[in-house]
Structure 1
């Protein structure tokens, strides 16, 4: 209990410190934020909110595919509500989103927590691969300005560094190959002889559920569509302001990448880190730092308000949803 309180206090202090730093370095005042609110084009903001909700719905559909591969069919309402509740929880306690969404499905659809948690880990791995691809595309599209801004004296990474990383990766793969029988034997003993092993086994069942997805092409389409929706959300928010409406697709791509990194920090909903990273990106595209920070605050506030509203509604909805027995348990 004390450990959890300390972690929460640390994340809150970190969020407050990062937010204070972002505001102080740009000399942003509350009146600047108010003026940003006044000058926003709320038609584009509304479109951005709708796109954001569509991205969450696509995530729920993709998650359903992983759950279905384990013979669980919770239904779109329960899955979508669980996804929104997960995002809602992340704005309250960092890294609680995954636990909350799995707990929601355990309550409303009787799906074992460790099974659904394993599928969430799979989702995170897929998302990480997607982010890597997105970062690669961003560097290809914007390499020259990024290089001049971040690496003014460097053309490419040293060849020795690249070769060293490749060699280390190959050594790791070879080591795993020659020790796989020993690892499998130890794992079988652990998964049968201890509670921890059984929990880990449930996680692994969920993680490898991706190999049993019935329509892998559709899973890939959902994955791409989620990132496209994230990109369109960033782009439409840029269109909502006179100072950023002409920045273009490449700027939206850069903002999406940096905003994603910001949201991944161990603070409530990426507070502070998102503001600083997105503001720095907008400054890179020639928007004054004070205005850039105000825009970043608006972008984040739009996401936060959307999640708190619809996540709160979803939480209330789950209190009244009857429990739906999973197909595995009802056979």
Structure 2
């Protein structure tokens, strides 16, 4: 048990160290005065609007979660309580990456008596849908800004040489793909009783079963609708901040969508709150749009900083509220 806790703390320290190093590496040459000047010259009406939109998004995420929680045990979860548990999860994620999912389930287990296993199942389903929405957003960005998307991809990979290589080696590539598929199929059949293979199969079965179960919800339209609206909210959060900063005020909606996609990918990285990775990817794409490196990094710092402060404030308030609630007890039967 001690070794397991020590291992977890080592992982947390390493993750935080990587995040801090990336952040320092990005901002080591930027004077604090430049950041202060940009903050002072920004239009805080738009940045305040961004913060308000984010708050609505957090509440909507809590409401969506209640649609997945069935009151077969314990007490029905209200949207407000689900919101507070969600904010506690975001707060914990700032300290320990991915631990927030368990924390927010633990909070509701204590206050509503629903087993943590059931709640974790709903969180896995939420994350699966969010992943689908992220993929859909990337595809939407490609459709809207396909030329720009390909240009940016070309900055990272030489697409022309890659396509030429694929054309010249198409039979080998197809053959290799078939061989890989056959090997994977053989391994899963031959070692179906192995613990790791079982876990992988169980994981995908859970996702598949979870997605099918959405159709059996009391409000499937509300679930899918809120899932889409959440990503519209993420876009509006980014867009309103861009309007409030002089260097990014002229970005088109398609360009802001690409910035949001890169920022979302940065937030997926296993570091506390996307620190460093979010800033690096957002600054990278803004530089491609002709925005100076300093302005791009300051934009990333402002939007991430305001969201970080919002999560800290709302998360602490929600944690205090949830801790004051009594522990749920099974009603006595007569």
Task: Please confirm whether the aligned pair reaches a TM-score higher than 0.5, indicating the same fold.
Answer: yes
1:94 aligns with 2:110: no
Q: Measured at CA, do residues 5 and 33 of structure 1 come closer, stay the same or move farther in structure 2, by a change above 3 Å?
A: same
Asked whether 1:277 is paired with 2:281, we answer yes
The answer to whether the 8 A contact 1:106-1:112 is kept is yes
RMSD: 3.3
Query: Of residues 175, 194, 218 in structure 2, which corresponds to 1:214?
Result: 218
Aligned residues: 312
Residue 231 (structure 1) shift: 0.7
Aligned to 2:159: 154
C-alpha distance after superposition, 1:147-196 (max 9, x if no partner): 223316425854649857975797599779x96xx97xx79xx9xxxxxx
Contact in 1 for aligned 2:109/2:116 (Cα 8 Å): yes
Distance 1:138 1:163, change over 3 A: farther
Counterpart CA distance in 2 for 1:10 and 1:269 is 14
- Alpha-carbon distance change, 168 to 151 in structure 1, aligned in 2, over 3 angstroms: farther
Deviations 1:28-74 (A, max 9, x none): 12111111210121111111011111111111111111113766621
Aligned to 1:276, what secondary structure does the other structure show?
Answer: helix
1:65 maps to what in 2? 67
SS in 2 for 1:151: helix
Report SS of the residue matched to 2:145: helix
Structure 2-normalised TM-score? 0.83
**CA distance, structure 2, for counterparts of residue 40 and residue 217 of structure 1:** 39
| Structure 2: distance between partners of 1:164 and 1:38 | 59
**C-alpha distance in 2 between matches for 1:206 and 1:63:** 18
CA contact (8 A) 1:122 1:207 kept: no
SS of the aligned residue for 1:243 comes to helix
Gaps of 5+ in 2: none
TM-score (norm 1): 0.83
- Which stretches in structure 1 are left out of the alignment for 5+ residues? 191-196
Residue 246 of structure 1, CA deviation = 1.3
Verify the 8 A CA contact 2:59 2:80 in the aligned structure 1.
no
